[in-house]
Amino acid sequence: MYRITNIEPQKLSQVKVRHQDRIMELTGGKLEAKDAFDTIKRETGGFKKKNDKAMAADDLLIQLLRRSGISVNGSGSAERERMLIQAKARERATALLELELELAA
């Protein structure tokens, strides 16, 4: 579900976040990858609970890691992609059923 579950802490310390002055201006503090990782882990009960905001933060943290030249391995990304495809297929099926119900009525 989350792709950052297997990230090593020393990799997180290598992440360079650009525009820290703007981030400090908006949030009052620096953005540290380790802190973001810890927050996601805490909010999801050790990556066990599904949380939409945490999943979005997971994606953003992966982007930061890749932008810093840190490789991100793991089957989580393939699993996540499969889940997204299935969710879109369910949405399309639901939309088709709603149209069929409208036409039948």
Continuous segment of H or E residues that includes residue 57: helix 52-67
pLDDT higher than 70, residue 86:
yes
Give the model confidence (pLDDT) of 34-63 as tens digits. 999 999 999 999 999 998 999 999 988 988
pLDDT value for 75: 43
- For a pLDDT cut of 70, what percent of the chain falls above it? 91
Q: Is the separation of the CB atoms in 44 and 2 below 8 Å?
A: yes
> pTM higher than 0.85, yes or no?
no
Phi, psi dihedrals of residue 8, rounded to the nearest 5°: -80, 140
Q: Please answer whether residues 64 and 33 qualify as being in contact, where contact means their C-beta atoms are separated by less than 8 angstroms.
A: yes
